[in-house]
Structures are given as structure tokens and as C-alpha cells.
Amino acid sequence: MQVKEEHAIVLDYLPYGYPFDTRPMHRKTPIAQAIGKNYFILLELVPKKGQALQVHEEVYIGEGKRDKIHHILNKITLSKLTETAKTELNYIIHDLVVNNEQRFIDFFNKAQPLNLRMHQLELLPGVGKKHMQEIVERREETPFKSFEDIKKRVKLMPDPEKTIIKRILLELERKEKHYLFIGN
């Protein structure tokens, strides 16, 4: 299923285009590298003429009238990000996870087996069979309410917030077989 982002967060803004672009200056277009808010899709955006963007700025990229973005140039990979964008990526993903905590708590509460041998929870870094089993047992007693609740009720559980962030970064590297949080 093809997913579409409605909003994106600017990771880096290049008002004169990419420095390694060999075209003459008057042919280059400003570029913003951004990450989608819902599906963590990495994008190259072209701002409207005269629009300057700020790092960490949220921009509307959905259907209909956009106030700052002219068009989405394309999806990009983690390796295409500028150094600034790579640095900002960690902060922005952290903010997106913290500000949407309930979405990720719902994942812990509703994750299902992928097959007879593997559970979705086991795809999280640092979560093995024992942690997975304990998470499932604890959520059956009462659903988790927060990251703090998971830490209290699951013994020796790696920090759930950091675990989710690590998983999102692994998925962005596109080396995973299964995707839990990012769209294609």
C-alpha cells in the first residue's frame, strides 16, 4: 500500500540547491530535505519562489493548496541526506516519538506474531523472546499507558522510547525485511 504524508519536518534547507550540483547557479533550485510526520518518509521538497524554510519547521505537503512547498521532488534515502540533515534527524525522530507516545504505546499493546517463530515485538532492538513474552503477559493484565509504565512493569526492559527510535533509524537505512513504523 502506498502511503502519503500530509506534513513534513524540515531537516535541512539549501537555498542555492546542492553544492555538488554542477549546473550554473541560475539553473539550481532551492531544496529542503524533510521527514514525514506519520510514516517517516525522507523527502526532497522544492519550496515556492520567495519562501525560505527553517530547520525543524513543519510544512504541509498534502493534497490541495500548500502555503510554502511548490512540489515534492522525490523520496530519498538516508545516504542522500546532508550532514546537517543527518544530525537533525535524531532530534526530530525523538520529538516525533515523544509527542506521539500513544501511537507507540498502542504498538506495544497490539503487536502480533509475524509467524509461528517470530513476533513483531522481537523486531525491536534489544527485545528478545523473554522480553516479548513478558510484554505480552503484562499487557494482557492491563494495557500499557506510557513508556514509563512499560519500564516499571517489564523487568530489565531496554528504554522503550530509545528502542522505538533505534528501530525507526534501522528502517530508514532500508536494510530491514519488515517495516513497523515507516511507509514505503
Contact assessment for residue 92 and residue 165, using Cβ atoms and an 8 Å cutoff: no
Residue by residue, DSSP assigns 83-123 as: HHHHHHHHHHHHHHHHHTHHHHHHHHHH--BSSSS-BGGGG
Per-residue H/E/C for 67-88: CCEEEEEEECCHHHCCHHHHHH
Backbone angles phi, psi at 150, to 5 degrees: -65, -45
pLDDT tens track, the chain, 184 positions: 578 999 999 999 999 998 888 888 878 899 999 999 999 999 999 999 999 999 999 999 999 999 999 999 999 999 999 999 999 999 999 999 999 999 999 999 999 999 999 999 999 999 999 999 999 999 999 999 999 999 999 998 899 999 999 999 999 998 888 999 998 6
Sequence-ordered list of residues with C-beta below 8 angstroms from that of 150, at least 6 positions apart, any chain: 105, 108, 135, 144, 157, 160
Q: Which domains does the chain have, with CATH numbers?
A: 7-81 (2.40.50.140), 100-172 (1.10.150.280)
Q: What is the pLDDT of residue 20?
A: 83
